[in-house]
Structure formats: structure tokens, C-alpha cells
Amino acid sequence: MVVEIVQDTCTGCGECLPFCTVGAISLGEGAAKVDADLCVECRLCVRFSVCPTGSIRATEIEEHDPRSVRRISDPTMVKATGLPGRGTEEVKTNDVTGRVGLGQVGFCVELGRPGVSASLADLEKVTTALSRLGVKFQRDNPMMTLLSDPERGLVRDEVKGERVLSTLVEFVAPVDMIEPVLGALKKAAGEVDTVFSVGLITRVDGDGRIPVTGTLEELGIPVRPNSKVNLGLGRPLFEEREV
């Protein structure tokens, strides 16, 4: 999809500007225009019908066009990646799927944010840094469709110039990988031109304590625990065991 503004009918009123989360719309001489490189095709400006003259147009593009991966930013869009959303559901429902076992920690790195966005070249800086530590990325995550070589964390050459609103890198690792993983992410943070947040997912131990808290405090990282319990969504698919 390509979002454009019809120059002949746009009055330059500027009403569409605040709707663009990444500042891709600007006012030119008498009319507004969309910077195609910055636009992540979230379609907010189209969906809210903000333009009084109907000048904002979204045009479909071929599915195999590298630009189609920008639609990963649209949570309703599954065509570009074959998977809905930007990450897996499991990241929020570990109590059902048991993806993260005892002695393990799940990592969820969200690269980019609404209002910021991220380039896929920057995604590769993060995924290659993690791959060097032997990290195995979570399958069934839309981000995986952007990689040509998941073992080395390489992004497909044809999409490396594309941008997305945000993308989620997920993986599970033994607890003793916390320090090297956070060290690699801290280094990568200085090399990318966007922001990212890092979430850690763990099981509480038998007495209700969060097992990674001590490690994070030793690293000088403040902990802000957050939990989500899903009731009645299904039976656990996992067997409780040490790994």
C-alpha cells in the first residue's frame, strides 16, 4: 500500500498532520504531502477519514513488493507476514502455553514505538548482536518473516530499506544469559536510530518470588514487575519441570 495526498484537491488545512504517528505528513506549498520513506502505512490518516476534501488516498501494491512488509505495523493485517499483530500471543499468555519454563527467562524486545518507528536495518543490528550469543528467535513471530538467515539474524536484503511502526524480537534463554543479553542490547542501543524497550518474562518460584530480580538489581537495573493472569482461557499445555 502507498498512502498519498492528491495535490489538486488538498487545501493545505493541516488537519491530517496530528494523526500521523511518525510525522510523515508535512505541509508543502499550498498542499500537504506524505514522505513515502517515513510512512509506515499504519493507515490512521485513512481510517479516521480526517480529510474534509477526501484527498488522502491509499493504493494497494503487489504482495511481493518489499514495501508490503510495512503493513506489519497494522495489527489487522496478516497478508504481509501471514501472522496477525507484531509479536506472538504467547508473550502474554505464558500461564497457558508454558513457553518459558523454570530456570528460563523470556525476552521481548520491542524495536520502535508509535511516533518513532524503526528501520529494518536497525532491526538487523539488534538481531545480529543477539545471534552472536547463540540466541534462537521465537518461531511464529511476524518478525521472523523479515529475516533471511535467523541463525545469524540477517534481514532479507530486499526489505532492509523498509520501516515499520515497531517490531518485536522474542526468544527464551537460560537465566544465566540475562547479563550477556542485556549487555549486547545496551551496546546495540547506541548503534540504532530508534528506541526499544526490553521485557523479561519469568515464572515466579515456589514461594512467589521473581527469580530474576536479584540479577537485575546487581546489574543496576530497576525492576518494575507486571503480571497478567488469564482465567478460563484453556488448560496448560505444558509439564512443569526444571530445564
Handedness of CA 141, 237, 225, 177 (dihedral sign): negative
Residue 176 is placed in which grid cell?
544465566
Verify binding: residue 50, ligand SF4, rule CB under 6 A.
Answer: yes
Verify binding: residue 39, ligand SF4, rule CB under 6 A.
Answer: yes
Q: Please report how close the Cβ of residue 106 comes to ligand SF4 at its closest, in angstroms.
A: 30
**Pairwise CA distance, residues 38 & 106, whole Å:** 31
Strands 163-164 and 118-119: antiparallel
Verify binding: residue 22, ligand SF4, rule CB under 6 A.
Answer: yes
Q: Please report how close the Cβ of residue 32 comes to ligand SF4 at its closest, in angstroms.
A: 4
Q: Please report how close the Cβ of residue 165 comes to ligand SF4 at its closest, in angstroms.
A: 8
Q: How many helices (H) and strands (E) does the chain have?
A: 5, 11
Verify binding: residue 32, ligand SF4, rule CB under 6 A.
Answer: yes
Q: Which is nearer to ligand SF4, 21 or 128 (CB)?
A: 21
Strands 56-59 and 104-111: unpaired
Give the side-chain half-sphere CA count within 13 A for 109. 28
Verify binding: residue 80, ligand SF4, rule CB under 6 A.
Answer: no
**Pairwise CA distance, residues 228 & 80, whole Å:** 29
Q: Please report how close the Cβ of residue 57 comes to ligand SF4 at its closest, in angstroms.
A: 10
Verify binding: residue 116, ligand SF4, rule CB under 6 A.
Answer: no
Residues near ligand SF4 (CB under 6 A) are 3, 5, 10-16, 19-22, 24-25, 32, 34, 39-45, 50-51, 53, 55-56
